[in-house]
Amino acid sequence: MTDTPEFSRPFSVRDIAPEGVSETISATPGECDAVAGRFGVEAMKSLSARLNIQPWKRGGFRVRGDASAEITQICVVTLEPFQQVVDASLDQVFVERSSSLVSDHADIVVSVDDEDIGYIDDGNIELGEFAVEALCLELDPYPRKQGVEFRSSTDDDAAVNVKKENPFAVLKQLKLGQDE
């Protein structure tokens, strides 16, 4: 992974009020192109996320929301490009790396709820990369256009109706010829 994400939106947690804050982020066309290259998709028209950031336990923050991207992929059956919208639900807890919520030895989270943990670096949560990673997990590795199904050659009606010749028919004919 690169040091700087293609879609970087650091968010400072220093002045978040106790009731939390809402944040909406969107990618520029250049960022969409860079993320599309990383995902290995044909194109990305848009990428955005709506997030709610709230204080969580001792110095942590919980980020919830949803992310959406409009992408163009290549159908694995027809090899034609098609557009689709990919959506992801977001819910993650972020803590300082030095937090008592994280073990000193193995990055083991001490949490009753066993949430997925992200890190606050230099007082910032990286919201852009958080959204990109969640969307990446929602991509279909074998994308198909809606309504397209894979049909093998044995599914063809002509192939199904062809009567296969019995390989022992020749032996039967030889046996019948000997009985005469």
Structure-token pair, residue 119: 């890190």
Q: What beta strand segments (E) does 75-156 contain?
A: 81-96, 117-120, 124-126
Average pLDDT over residues 43-52: 97
The predicted-structure confidence for 90-123, as pLDDT tens digits, reads as follows 999 999 887 655 554 444 445 545 457 899 999 9
The gap from C-alpha 177 to its chain's centroid, in whole angstroms, comes to 67
Q: What's the mean pLDDT when you consider all of the chain?
A: 84
Distances from the Cα of 3 to the Cα of 11, 34, 81, 121, 138, angstroms: 17, 14, 31, 13, 23
Distance CA 6, CA 51 (A): 19
**pLDDT given for residue 155 in this prediction:** 53
The predicted-structure confidence for 20-42, as pLDDT tens digits, reads as follows 999 999 999 999 999 999 999 99
Nearest to 126 by CA among 4, 42, 11: 11
Helix (H) / strand (E) containing 85: strand 81-96
The gap from C-alpha 67 to its chain's centroid, in whole angstroms, comes to 11
Q: With 80 as the cut, is the pLDDT of residue 83 above it? A: yes
Least confident piece of the model among 46-50, 56-60, 176-180: 176-180
The share of the chain scoring above pLDDT 90, in percent, equals 60
